[in-house]
Structure 1
Amino acid sequence: MQAVEAAKTTEQIQRIEMALSDNHGQVYADLWKIGLNLALRISDLLSLTYEDVSGEKLKIVEGKTNKLREIVINQAARQVIERRRARHPDHIYLFQSDSNRSRTMIKPIDRSVVSRKFKEVGEQNSIKMHLNTHSMRKTRGWMMHQAGVSIEQICKVLNHSSPAVTMAYIGITQADIDRTYDEFCL
């Protein structure tokens, strides 16, 4: 099985966002954008209601870890929230399903649908990446690492149990570590 990849440049991030919008609709581009900015797991992201994201900070008990997290809603995330609210004033969930099968039930978009859409976009010639819903968190972690944020801080943002987990998650390989010996000849 091929490893899920992070987008490693702002150009890749923008191409993915555009491809999601063009091929599957703005809702999937919005999911990508807010996922990059909040660094939540897909199950937590899809469970968000407008009430959850109405303040400056999001307080959420993560489904996987059952830990409370407090996340600042940055300007990019706020723009997505406001755009979605303007387009869907009657929705309860930030990413509510509009499918005909779920018309009688109010529920968020299904994670398997999101995963399939991301995978399809990743397979396009202009992208050529193994994408899925973890790609958003991996991308945030990678971009933070590239900007010089410490692994410990990224570990905290992603709510990982250890820096080693974070390093593996964002794709820091043994080859990357080995290169530092040549780069830093003291």
Structure 2
Amino acid sequence: MADEYAITISFAHQFKRFLKAEKLINQYLDNIDQNDTPVVSFAHEKLLNELINGKTKSYDYSGLTGSIVISKSTITLKYKKFLHTGGKGSKTVDIQKISSVSVSKPTMTSGKVKIHYEGFANRGYYSPKEEANEITITNINQYNQMLEAKELILALKRYHENQVHSTDSLSPADEIRKYKSLLDDGIISEEEFEKKKKELLN
């Protein structure tokens, strides 16, 4: 009889997936700073798959002075009227043009989410106004949400980079192996894999 924290597995492919899950969890636990543990989950992996597969169009993460809307290929900074002092309306950025995302934790003062992207330059001097590439956050819930947003943005960036680097020089066999890996990781379905395999072999 399995205990309340156990999951029974019956097949080899289930065993392999749980080995991967165990490895990811252990890596995550190894990286935790015991003195300041951010609440970061693996939820962004599920969100990433839903965006890539078109199941969801976008995800919205809100801060005090605005929000970040993440879609498959872009992010949109939406500024709250009268609250955001550096931007008006909204700003959409191609994910491939993003160089980095930083999230500072709110403590005695407010925290910030900053999206660094190609073509944007900071003022270069101190100003009480927010930069157009940042959103202010004021509580731990917003902080945790923005950490997830950061992970999702960077995962999407890696996805697009991999798509670009996946050149036509790959042989059909290599392409099939690539899609088999996506199938094994649960990113595509058996039906999608078989369809792609058929296309590559014809």
| Same structural fold, with TM-score higher than 0.5 when normalized by the shorter chain | no
The TM-score normalised by the length of structure 1 is 0.34
Task: Point out which structure has higher relative CO (alpha carbons under 8 A, 6+ apart).
Answer: 1
The TM-score normalised by the length of structure 2 is 0.32
Looking at secondary structure, tell me which structure has more strand per residue. 2
